[in-house]
């Protein structure tokens, strides 16, 4: 705590005057956690476990459908392989964010093998097998897999990648190689799956999932944090670091126990996590601005740094109409990007019609929206429809960002916090909490 920071009990007492009911119950639980600091909450009777503040925000009503969805994308049991699947992001904060824009999973994969090289080989094999297995699941379409490193000299060949991660489409994974091409189509190089497996780096799988599986179309993702344990019992990360557990909620008791074991009984580097949230808040305030993402990351930062009054304000904001508008925007975007429109039984057009109807109700009197939505409904073929949806997405992005920005800057404590983060992050400093 910095020299001029208000002590936690006083901050809790001050925040308590701002609300009642469920908000008061949340504050009481936070106060108890602050009085007796710990990392992992005891596993509940329903098998849910994780960091104490993450568990407080999870809605157990969602546990069963999240388990069913997770079973489709989880790494299956195998000799020498232990896994711990968790839900993370907005779906792990159902009590705070009733309008999640996507469904994010996090999976710890712990391999016992004679050598590190063998563990990496098996990891690569399991990721490929997961891609092939999920491809056969109704309603799922792979967007891409991040696996391995893309050399900096070839950055232009995959401008859509995450950081230095190498991106793979479904056909690339099946072929075991990805052909890299520079903008304009010229060959830039070739990467093999075997080479990527030797140094996997950031591992993430992204799918488009249709409305026949979820309430409405959405992206479903899974980040894998792999670890290896050798014959001597020593454990090490296979991607450079054991990820922190400040946002994960494990949906099975055995998974929660494995996570606690792998992290050494602590949730991880708290200061590093807070610094990362600060950086993301500032990044999403800049062009192109996305103040919906600012609000979500600001909540993660405030709940863990003791800014309880701001956290309560953000809890309310994330349950208001702009958050529902952001969810509908994400669902409409998926219907325009999902590459399985030609598959038998696909209901993309029906999904689009239903989402457009919901957006009509959410944007009464918005003439620009009504005009653009009308053009989209006129159809004209798959290409025309996708172009129309892209235009609607740009319009919705403006509406969502403006609504969140106005609410964040209209609340004096939150506006002051954002100004402070902007000032302290200009030079990349970590700041003090």
pLDDT for res 35: 62
Which 8-state DSSP code applies to residue 190?
A: E
pLDDT for res 1: 41
Token pair for 158: 């995959």
Helices 382-410, 367-377: axis angle to 10 degrees equals: 160
Return the SS3 of 180.
strand
pLDDT for res 34: 66
Task: Name residues whose C-beta falls within 8 Å of residue 320's C-beta, 6 or more positions apart in sequence.
Answer: 407
- Cα separation, 260 vs 276, in Å, equals 22
Which 8-state DSSP code applies to residue 357?
A: H
pLDDT for res 260: 92
Could you say which residues of the chain have pLDDT below 70?
A: 1-20, 34-37, 338-349, 427-433
- Cα separation, 94 vs 246, in Å, equals 15
Residue showing tokens 């494990």: 250
Token pair for 223: 């980040």
- Cα separation, 51 vs 60, in Å, equals 15
pLDDT for res 413: 96
| Cis, bond preceding 392 (omega within 30 deg of 0) | no
Sign of CA dihedral 264, 266, 271, 276: positive
Within 13 Å of residue 20, how many CA atoms lie on the same side as its CB?
0
Q: Is 185 exposed, middle or buried (0-12, 13-18, 19+ CB in 10 A)?
A: exposed
pLDDT for res 132: 97
Other Cβ atoms closer than 10 A to 12: 19
Which 8-state DSSP code applies to residue 78?
A: B
């Amino acid at each position: 705590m910095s020299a001029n920071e208000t002590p936690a009990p006083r901050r809790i007492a001050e925040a308590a005057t701002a609300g009642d009911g469920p908000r008061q119950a949340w504050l009481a639980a936070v106060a108890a956690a602050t009085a007796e600091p710990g990392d992992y909450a005891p596993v509940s009777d329903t098998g849910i476990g994780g960091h104490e503040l993450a568990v407080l925000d999870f809605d157990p009503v969602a546990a069963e459908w999240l388990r069913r969805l997770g079973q489709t994308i989880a790494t299956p049991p195998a000799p020498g392989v232990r896994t711990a699947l968790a839900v993370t992001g907005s779906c792990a904060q159902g009590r705070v964010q009733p309008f999640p824009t996507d469904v994010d999973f996090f999976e710890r994969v712990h391999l016992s093998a004679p050598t590190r090289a063998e563990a990496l080989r098996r990891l690569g094999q399991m990721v490929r097998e997961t891609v092939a297995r999920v491809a056969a699941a109704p309603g799922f379409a792979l967007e891409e897999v991040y696996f391995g490193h893309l050399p900096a000299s070839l950055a232009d060949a995959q401008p859509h990648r995450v950081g230095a991660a190498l991106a793979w489409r479904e056909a690339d994974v099946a072929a075991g190689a990805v052909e890299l091409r520079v903008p304009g189509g010229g060959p830039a190089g070739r990467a093999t799956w075997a080479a990527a497996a030797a140094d996997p780096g950031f591992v993430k799988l992204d799918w488009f999932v249709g409305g026949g599986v979820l309430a409405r179309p959405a992206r479903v993702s899974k980040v894998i944090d792999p670890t290896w344990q050798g014959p001597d019992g020593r454990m090490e990360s296979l991607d450079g670091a054991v990820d922190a557990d400040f946002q994960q909620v494990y949906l099975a008791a055995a998974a929660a126990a494995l996570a606690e074991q792998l992290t050494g009984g602590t949730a991880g580097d708290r200061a590093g996590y807070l610094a990362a949230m600060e950086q993301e808040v500032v990044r999403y305030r800049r062009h192109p601005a996305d103040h919906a993402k600012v609000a979500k990351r600001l909540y993660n930062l405030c709940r863990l740094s003791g800014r309880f009054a701001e956290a309560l304000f953000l809890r309310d904001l994330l349950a208001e109409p702009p958050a529902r508008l952001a969810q509908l925007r994400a669902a409409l975007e998926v219907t325009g990007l999902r590459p399985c429109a030609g598959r038998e039984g696909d209901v993309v057009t029906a999904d689009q019609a239903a989402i457009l109807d919901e957006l009509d109700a959410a944007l009464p009197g918005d003439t620009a929206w009504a005009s653009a939505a009308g053009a989209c409904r006129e159809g004209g073929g798959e290409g025309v429809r996708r172009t129309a949806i892209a235009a609607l997405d740009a319009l919705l992005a403006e509406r969502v960002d403006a609504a969140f920005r106005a609410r964040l800057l209209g609340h004096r404590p939150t506006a002051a916090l954002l100004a402070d983060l902007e000032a302290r992050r200009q030079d990349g400093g970590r700041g003090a909490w």
